[in-house]
Structure 1
Amino acid sequence: MLKPRSTPTRELTNLDGLWRFAVDGATGEEPWAGPLDTRLEAAVPASYNDLFTDTAIRDHVGWVWYQRVVRVPRGWAEECVIVRFDAATHHGKVYVDDVIVAEHRGGYTPFEVDITEHVCCGEEFRLTVGVDNELTNVTLPPGTITVTQDGRRQQKYLHDFYNYAGLARSVWLYSRPAVHADDITVVTDLDGTAGTVEYTVRTSVPAPVRVRVLDATGAEVAAGGGAKGAVRIEDVTPWRPGAAYLYGLVVETLSGEGGEVVDSYTQPFGVRTVEVSGSRFLINGQPFYFTGFGKHEDTPIRGKGHDDAYLVHDFQLMEWIGANSFRTSHYPYAEEVLEFADRHGIVVIDETAAVGLNLAVTGGLAGRPHQPTFSAETFNDDTRAAHAQDIRELVTRDKNHPSVVMWCVANEPSSNEEGAREYFEPLVELIRALDHTRPVSYAAVMFATSENDRIADLFDVICLNRYYGWYVATGDLATAETYVEGDLRAWADRFGKPIIMSEYGADALPGLHSVWDLPWTEEYQCAYLEANHRAFDRVEAVVGEHVWNFADFQTSDGIHRVDGNRKGVFTRDRRPKAAARELRKRWRGLAGCKPSGIA
């Protein structure tokens, strides 16, 4: 599935704006069967939860309904008409007038449907979308639903961020020719000063294909023919972290051999290589040291709704602080985020929505008894099937982004439990079959140690989430620093792979200060980070540090989380805490290299 673009043969209409909105049960039994009977309107893109003052809407569990009237442009009479949703969190159903035309499960990847037979050019149709936010043991992320004594349905889940829902990304109406390119895959390599570009094009029906490569000025630098082939770019300008350079692969589908162009689509790409060598992570053959964050798609009012203004400002803050990378914790982000990273040379670890596959957290760090995480009654074959589909859709969408240098298949699964290997090994095999060009990892929870983890050998890079000095040895940073170094060395000694500290952090309330190392103060957050950094710098295998989190974010837990998770080095509205300036001093001096010159 190609991202909709305006091309010489394709046209694009954005359907963002205000849509009619209602929760299930507040209108007729078939909300799609006529105009939605509601006075409410919801912004698209945005999560619906924080838009309204009604608690019943914010806490609603189940279906909600969006509706608007759409007019098909008059000039599309000879084209296919497609409606595309960049995401519907977590389960979407689409109706054109009274007819259901599409259904999709998975809250963070796009889906589309050809509605040509249901609409007429120049005329209007009623577009109704149902979105269900329910999480179960076979959804990603997972959850459970309980019913209170007064009959209210409540959603419970294990991930530590708010379950925002709705149409949080853009909706599009676009046209394309009946014969067209359906999918494009670009794989690059470097050969001295030249770049090689292997491409594969899938067309809607068998048809001749030709390709051209354009540089950033629009000049043609290579050309080829056939739906599968390779071209060579002499004197190539590689895509580098901090120094992005993009080419365009112009794919033209022809009416016949030597015939006219019936479809044209340009796929941006960058020429770069990624590999793991021993305990080093290499981009274009050079060691790379990750500095940055785990982030969230989370802003006031919008929830997980994509916002270009926040996109620009967040990347400006990352540049200011010296971050060269981030992880899409804990789900695929809007594709606009990756496109921006492509253009600005920011490195991305791309993650599925598999967060919460760990029932041990219900026992807490004290290790109380809990249900087995992997079993027929908990996370089972159906869960893994949903996980596999999540992986397929992630790779299909993001495989051509040069900024994406590694796949992360899960965050904090119970990788030390029985059944973990049986669950994850087929998924690792799947993602390697889909893309052999990128390393694969997962982020290991604190319960999983170098001794009891059952799956680390399946992966290329060890990503560790560790909170010594916060959840363990709270307030005792001398002990915490010892724990960090010992833990890192144990993983390095056993597996001999690169290690990224994919999460480490401490909550800090803006404006809370102390002359002592007191948790929750801005000073303690700074001291906590400094203790971790000293440990990282002494362990050669460490190739990166991603602070948890870029900015404070909303959660559902109002007891342990006061107005959300406060581990951000920026507040939720993007004001810097003291830790931001401390990180800036460290990271702007590293420039992607390991401290102290360690390779």
Structure 2
Amino acid sequence: MLRSQQNAKRTVINLSSLWFLEVGKEKRPIAVPGSWNEQYQDLCYEEGPFTYKTTFYVPKELSQKHVRLYFAAVNTDCEVYLNEEKVGENHIGYLPFEIDVTGKVRAGKNELKVIVKNELKVGGFPSKVPDSGTHTVGFFGSFPPANFDFFPYGGIIRPVLVEFTDHSRILDIWVDTSKSEPEKRLGKVQVKVEVSEEAVGEEMKIELGGKEKRIKVTDRIVEEEFTFEDARFWSLEDPYLYTLKIELEKDEYTLDVGIRTINWDERKLYLNGKPIFLKGFGKHEEFPVLGQGTFYPMMVKDFNLLKWINANSFRTSHYPYSEEWLDLADRLGILVIDEAPHVGITKYHYNPQTQKIAEENVKKMIDRDKNHPSVIMWSVANEPESNHPDAEGFFKALYETAKKMDRTRPVVMVSMMDMPDERTRDVALNYFDIVCVNRYYGWYIYQGRIDEGLKALEEDLEELYRRHRKPIFVTEFGADAIAGLHYDPPQMFSEEYQAELVEKTIKLLMKKDYIVGMHVWAFADFKTPQNVRRPILNYKGVFTRDRQPKLVAHVLKKLWGEI
């Protein structure tokens, strides 16, 4: 599925605006995109359902075209009505969905209605804390009862678009540069295009990097390969993008393409044949007032800070971010670990129905983001109950689903298990290409004892590598620090303690040649459900929620500038 695109042959109406929200019998204005939780105090903890309504106008000539509604993301369950007719539904957040409304759009005024519910579910998504007896990661008793450590925002969180195309149209594009040979500067770009039935028999023009091919479309799938003998490879230092343009008589689509290769062995991760070390953050896509609504100034600010602090990567914890995050990563040379919206998974998720949903989510994520050169690996989940016997089959299936979609990138699962304690033995981690673990020595364990905690961390990592013989990526470590709170000697929650723990952990990790990356948790402070450990926010951010640096930010800037 291609995202909507405005160009010479496609027309897009962006419905980002003030809509109406029906709460009971009351009608209120609501901003789209945005979360209802932050726009109204009395809706802060509400799950819905709430009804969104807006109108849009269509010229007569456009109403005769192929028309689709493109929702970049809605949290979470929704039903969509056009002119009082139900036209579709969706049941997962953070990922796009489309609805074909050809022949249903009127010339003139149209009314769009979306009924949205963001209900937490035991054994579903978003995950609810079970009553007892399973993996709750310390969230038992939280309100709202989310089985994860960020606020469960609801609503139409990303843009809603109406796209008009000819009936003879381009449906999807796949780009694969994995057969390129960077040591020879030889770029090989395989392009696959899917078209509608109406396009069969037409001529297609494919342009890439100054080269052009014209093909008679004899089937709905068209495949071509381009070779560049002096290719400019996409890299962190030079994130060069070639322009790919696919053109039919009455449709066209343009895509940025980065030529690069990704490989890995039992100790290293390679970008274009050279070892790459990932330094950066797990983060969240959230901000005051907006909740999880798409916010372009925040994206620009965050990338500016990533560059300032000498980071080269981030993980979309714990869900796929807005597509524009990846656009910027492509342009600016930042690597991305793209994570499915699977957080808070417990033994109650290990059933055929939920497994099918999770497999579809992985497919949707890869389908959406497959052509971004910045995406260096796929993560299928964060911190599941992966020491449960039933986790093995569940995550083996997710790994295989991802590999069927894309064999050119490593597939990972981020685990908090597989520590020296046998009770934490992860039954699924060995299926994945790189061992990704979250470790909080000196914070949740060995509290206040950084040096003792790091000694235990080193023993943990050594045992992990002996067991798996695969590269290890420490995807989370860190400590809470309340901005402006200082203490000598360093104590927990002070800026000094956070800075010391992070600095000493990095210096330890750099001694291990099987470590391929380190991500500090977290990029910025973020809102959580209410519980006794969280005074409104999780304060593990290197930056405050409004993006001001704590002491640790300056420490990281210096350390990462030397790596």
Report if TM-score (shorter chain) is over 0.5. Answer: yes
Residues 1:388 and 2:359 are matched in the alignment: yes
Which amino acid letter does the alignment assign opposite residue 427 of structure 2? R
In the alignment, which residue of structure 1 is the partner of 2:503?
A: 530
Distance 1:198 1:513, change over 3 A: same
Conserved 8 A contact 1:414-1:448: no
In the alignment, which residue of structure 2 is the partner of 1:549?
A: 522
Report the Cα offset of residue 77 of structure 1. 4.2
Residues 1:276 and 2:271 are matched in the alignment: no
Alignment counterpart, residue 399 of structure 2, candidates 395, 416, 428:
428
The alignment of Structure 1 onto Structure 2 pairs a total of residues equal to 540
Residues 1:199 and 2:184 are matched in the alignment: no
Which amino acid letter does the alignment assign opposite residue 264 of structure 2? V
- For residues 278-316 of structure 1, the C-alpha deviation after alignment (integer angstroms, 9 at most, x for no partner) is 210001001000010001011011011110000000100
Conserved 8 A contact 1:85-1:171: yes
Distance 1:300 1:467, change over 3 A: same
In the alignment, which residue of structure 2 is the partner of 1:91?
A: 77
3-state SS in 2 of match to 1:49:
helix
Residues 1:408 and 2:393 are matched in the alignment: no
Cα distance in 1, alignment partners of residues 52 and 443 from structure 2 = 42
Conserved 8 A contact 1:213-1:247: no
- For residues 320-362 of structure 1, the C-alpha deviation after alignment (integer angstroms, 9 at most, x for no partner) is 001100000000000011111111111000000110013xxxx
In the alignment, which residue of structure 2 is the partner of 1:34?
A: none
Which amino acid letter does the alignment assign opposite residue 262 of structure 1? K
Report the Cα offset of residue 539 of structure 1. 1.3
Cα distance in 2, alignment partners of residues 537 and 81 from structure 1 = 53
Distance 1:418 1:284, change over 3 A: same
Report the Cα offset of residue 443 of structure 1. 0.7
Cα distance in 2, alignment partners of residues 316 and 98 from structure 1 = 45
Cα distance in 2, alignment partners of residues 72 and 234 from structure 1 = 47
In the alignment, which residue of structure 2 is the partner of 1:257?
A: none
In the alignment, which residue of structure 2 is the partner of 1:210?
A: 204
Alignment of 1:186-335 (within 5 A): 186-188=175-177, 189-191=179-181, 192-205=184-197, 207=200, 208=202, 210-215=204-209, 220-223=210-213, 225=215, 227-253=222-248, 261-335=249-323
Cα distance in 1, alignment partners of residues 331 and 58 from structure 2 = 32
In the alignment, which residue of structure 1 is the partner of 2:58?
A: 72
Distance 1:450 1:320, change over 3 A: farther
Conserved 8 A contact 1:144-1:155: no
- For residues 553-596 of structure 1, the C-alpha deviation after alignment (integer angstroms, 9 at most, x for no partner) is 00002421002100001000111000000000011222xxxxxx
Conserved 8 A contact 1:221-1:233: no
Cα distance in 1, alignment partners of residues 420 and 339 from structure 2 = 22
Please report the TM-score for the alignment, with normalisation by the length of structure 2.
0.93
Residues 1:161 and 2:150 are matched in the alignment: yes
Conserved 8 A contact 1:137-1:379: no
- For residues 401-458 of structure 1, the C-alpha deviation after alignment (integer angstroms, 9 at most, x for no partner) is 1100100001011222211111111111111001111101111114655962212221
Conserved 8 A contact 1:195-1:234: yes
In the alignment, which residue of structure 2 is the partner of 1:178?
A: 167
Distance 1:166 1:416, change over 3 A: same
- For residues 241-298 of structure 1, the C-alpha deviation after alignment (integer angstroms, 9 at most, x for no partner) is 2421111221123xxxxxxx12211122111001112210001001000010001011
Residues 1:460 and 2:433 are matched in the alignment: yes
- For residues 35-73 of structure 1, the C-alpha deviation after alignment (integer angstroms, 9 at most, x for no partner) is xx61x111111111011132xx11112311111111013
Report the Cα offset of residue 238 of structure 1. 0.9
Distance 1:429 1:5, change over 3 A: same
Report the Cα offset of residue 210 of structure 1. 3.0
Cα distance in 2, alignment partners of residues 21 and 502 from structure 1 = 39
- For residues 117-161 of structure 1, the C-alpha deviation after alignment (integer angstroms, 9 at most, x for no partner) is 22223x011111111101213433322699xxxxxxx85221000
Moved over 6 A (4+): none
3-state SS in 2 of match to 1:480:
helix
Report the Cα offset of residue 201 of structure 1. 1.1
Alignment of 1:464-503 (within 5 A): 464-503=437-476
Conserved 8 A contact 2:71-2:161: yes
- For residues 172-195 of structure 1, the C-alpha deviation after alignment (integer angstroms, 9 at most, x for no partner) is 111111011111111013232221
Cα distance in 2, alignment partners of residues 519 and 229 from structure 1 = 58
Cα distance in 2, alignment partners of residues 6 and 416 from structure 1 = 47
Cα distance in 2, alignment partners of residues 487 and 300 from structure 1 = 38
- For residues 70-117 of structure 1, the C-alpha deviation after alignment (integer angstroms, 9 at most, x for no partner) is 101344144212221100101121111210101011101111112232
Cα distance in 2, alignment partners of residues 45 and 62 from structure 1 = 17
Residues 1:49 and 2:37 are matched in the alignment: yes
Cα distance in 1, alignment partners of residues 369 and 193 from structure 2 = 16
Alignment counterpart, residue 337 of structure 1, candidates 303, 311, 325:
325
Which amino acid letter does the alignment assign opposite residue 494 of structure 1? R
Cα distance in 2, alignment partners of residues 10 and 200 from structure 1 = 20
Which runs of no fewer than 5 residues in structure 1 stay unpaired? 28-36, 147-153, 254-260, 359-372, 591-599
Cα distance in 1, alignment partners of residues 206 and 229 from structure 2 = 14
In the alignment, which residue of structure 1 is the partner of 2:4?
A: 4
Distance 1:74 1:242, change over 3 A: farther
Alignment counterpart, residue 577 of structure 1, candidates 550, 557, 561:
550
Which amino acid letter does the alignment assign opposite residue 110 of structure 2? F
Distance 1:196 1:224, change over 3 A: farther
Conserved 8 A contact 1:241-1:345: yes
Distance 1:145 1:67, change over 3 A: farther
Residues 1:105 and 2:91 are matched in the alignment: yes
Which amino acid letter does the alignment assign opposite residue 358 of structure 2? H
Which runs of no fewer than 5 residues in structure 2 stay unpaired? 132-142
Cα distance in 1, alignment partners of residues 308 and 128 from structure 2 = 38
3-state SS in 2 of match to 1:190:
coil
CA RMSD of aligned residues (A): 1.7
3-state SS in 2 of match to 1:143:
coil
